[in-house]
Structure 1
Amino acid sequence: MRIATTLTAAAVAAAVAVRVARSRDRRFLHPDGRSFTGDLEVWGAPAPTGSALLDRPGRHPVTLRISKGAGTRPGRADVLGVAVRVHGPVAGRRHDLLFSTAGQGRLLRHVPVPRRGFDATYDSILPYRSGSGRTFHLEVRPDPSGRPLGRTLESVVAAAEHDGARLLLSLADGAAVDVVGRVRFGAVLPAAQDAALAFDPVRNAPPDLYPTGIGHGTRAAAYRLSQRWRGAHPAAPNPAAVARTNPPH
């Protein structure tokens, strides 16, 4: 038993070492993905949230990336991801929103869940806090009126090429889920531009809508180290943004 445990631990360590070595040239997590131009149309939350992005109807340009967390083979189950960089509503300011495939409902939305296809529910996993002090989750899921995203990254690209790839943005508060906007995929970005993208939902977040909860200090450090390791340009230092993610005492 001890030998088997030792061999298993050695295999895991070797696998991690390989992933770390490979991450010198590509992302450690979500290595396989496609990035797009696009836009976010916000219709406005049913009740004020204290977030300018969610409360004010409008349309904002975005850069979005859809990806596989572990980089499994096409069509194989994986924790899938959607990253949305909103360029606005304040000019020149980035707002990064990250989502992973998760369970549904107020308990399971905290749990990342592998999925075979991209037509799934993606959750922020951890809650967001708005300017009013309210906390809630954010979700995206395929628009039923759009084209199916399919089971591979190439099928997502095909849907986007026909102007049919769309995601609905929702605010999930307890058992209530309110659709507040829609993300539309635009043109696919070149591979080099995809590789250079460096999302950071902690530092690239306004003070009226930011992730909150235990563990964000570690998450913030992990993003920065990973991006520097693979040669990407991380977000500018923002100690106040890192500090505010910690829950109030």
Structure 2
Amino acid sequence: MRELDTLLGAPFALASAVRRARVFHPDGVLAQGHAELGGHWWPFQGRIPVTARLSRGVGIPDGLPDVLGLAIRLHRTSGPWDLLLASAQLSTRVVLWPARGWASARYSSVTAYCTEDGPPTWVFAVPDTGQPRTGSTAALVDGDPLHFTLSLATARGQAKAAGRISLDSPTAVAEGKQPAFDPVINLPAELRMWPEWLAAPRRVAYQASRGGRSAALPNPESEPHV
């Protein structure tokens, strides 16, 4: 098993070392805020403080469409939940889709989540009006606060509104001081990823990417205040 992990992780470690940054979503900004979660599906409800990172997926030049990312860490006393969303075609749930700007991005968790007795469920986030039309991270810095509507959808069902995320104006923070998000390590005990076989390779990929750029394990206590 260890040999397989090494084989799977090698490309991510090498790419991260060469870039000296995350393999994917290397260019990002941070924001603090809160989530308001409603509905029985969530493993916890109410107002939850969050740390968020907005980023460009491939890191291609500004002005060109890119897969935009919205990484959210929900802070709980029992441990954090790292929810990673990427711009996608929401009708398909899983097809990543480059966006020209933050205003037009529609985010999906891509990987679904299951409760103990429920169907696979995807998390979506749609930005409110007023976000920058460009996909430049610089356009977010010191701009207006950001707001998103959260919704949940099963494989065939319609998406249903299930909460809100409100973020203060994003701030530029050096890559080495940005938190490492990990959706496999930081996952509520009440949920599991679906399909379950995907959790193992994702764990290896994130671990290898951190190793390649000499990043520490995800540690919410060491996050910068922005």
Structure 1 residues 67-216: aligned runs within 5 Å: 67-88=55-76, 91=77, 93-105=79-91, 108-119=92-103, 120-144=105-129, 147-151=130-134, 152-158=136-142, 161-163=143-145, 165-173=146-154, 174-192=156-174, 195-213=177-195, 214-216=197-199
Is the helix fraction higher in 1 or 2? 1
Distance (Å, rounded) in 2 between the aligned partners of 1:99 and 1:17: 22
Map Cα deviations across residues 155-206 of structure 1 (whole Å, 9 max, x no partner).
2234xx433x111111012231111111111243452377431101111011
Residue 217 of structure 1 is matched in structure 2 by 200
Distance (Å, rounded) in 1 between the aligned partners of 2:59 and 2:168: 23
Change (3 A) 1:143 1:132: farther
TM-score between both structures, scaled by the size of structure 2: 0.81
TM-score between both structures, scaled by the size of structure 1: 0.74
Alignment: residue pair count: 204
Unaligned regions of 5+ residues in structure 2, if any? 1-11, 220-226
Change (3 A) 1:17 1:229: closer
Change (3 A) 1:34 1:175: same
Unaligned regions of 5+ residues in structure 1, if any? 1-15, 237-249
Secondary structure of the structure 2 residue equivalent to 1:211: strand
Secondary structure of the structure 2 residue equivalent to 1:215: helix
Identity %: 32
CA RMSD of aligned residues (A): 2.3
Secondary structure of the structure 2 residue equivalent to 1:202: coil
Residue 242 of structure 1 is matched in structure 2 by none
Residue 8 of structure 1 is matched in structure 2 by none
Query: For the pair shown, which has the larger CA radius of gyration, 1 or 2?
Result: 1
Map Cα deviations across residues 89-144 of structure 1 (whole Å, 9 max, x no partner).
xx151110001111131xx2211111111221110111111243332100111024
